[in-house]
Chain A
Amino acid sequence: NAGVMQNPRHLVRRRGQEARLRCSPMKGHSHVYWYRQLPEEGLKFMVYLQKENIIDESGMPKERFSAEFPKEGPSILRIQQVVRGDSAAYFCASSLPSDRGRETQYFGPGTRLLVL
């Protein structure tokens, strides 16, 4: 029973390039959450998605960032025209479906993005 999978584990991009981060939830989970963690800091919520639906994107920067969770395939967090400040660890988590989302969230191993 595989846990939450993320790839790539490490990603290096030059300023101005695009970064695509992928997250496959645990089997049976249909809710996905993305978080950003800067070094020595806590986890900051970015976006909460169900299949084909964004539930809450209140933590997403208004520009350059987008997320999707298609009917088939992994959830994708996309960062366009990356800047050095985007360097961070990006974690996704998944949970069982719930009417209010208060289910236990299980985290993936993270993608460490480095922008040169």
Chain B
Amino acid sequence: GENVEQHPSTLSVQEGDSAVIKCTYSDSASNYFPWYKQELGKRPQLIIDIRSNVGEKKDQRIAVTLNKTAKHFSLHITETQPEDSAVYFCAAWGALTGANNLFFGTGTRLTVIP
């Protein structure tokens, strides 16, 4: 099945700086890649997603890029704020026959230092 790797596992940035989280996936047929933000004790919340027919998507301070050839996608947060501190998960929808679910990365704990 699909294998999603996420790096780094922890990331600390100064307020106002940018943060980048990278994920790789193994299934070349995967075509849907969401990113979720999870605050402590809370539910995962979708912050942005991208489908394989586009290479980049942006929503205010958040952007995601997708490189299908290299099978990796990245989350970019600009002008970080303390409220961006959370655990971020990437995911890929398994497209192989018999795979009908999201495979999640292991998460990145982002700390924005005021």
- Give residues in A with beta carbon < 8 Å to B: 33, 35, 41-45, 48, 55-56, 58-59, 91, 100-102, 104-110
Contacts and interface: CB of A to CB of B under 8 A. Distances in A.
B101 A43 contact: no
Contact of B43 (A48, A55, A108): A108
Contact of B34 (A33, A44, A101, A104): A104
Contacts of B43: 91, 107-110
Nearest to B9: A40
Given A43-B44, A45-B104, A107-B44, 10 more contacts: A35-B104, A41-B107, A42-B104, A42-B105, A43-B89, A91-B44, A101-B101, A107-B43, A107-B45, A109-B42
Interface residues of B, number: 26
B46 A42 contact: no
Most buried by B among A35, A104, A107: A107
B101 A48 contact: yes
Q: Which 4 A-B pairs have the closest CB atoms?
A: A56-B100, A45-B101, A102-B32, A107-B43
B106 interface: yes
Interface string B28-54: 000110101000001111100101000
A25 B45 CA distance: 15
A99 B31 CA distance: 14
B93 A102 contact: yes
Contacts of B91: 43
B114 interface: no
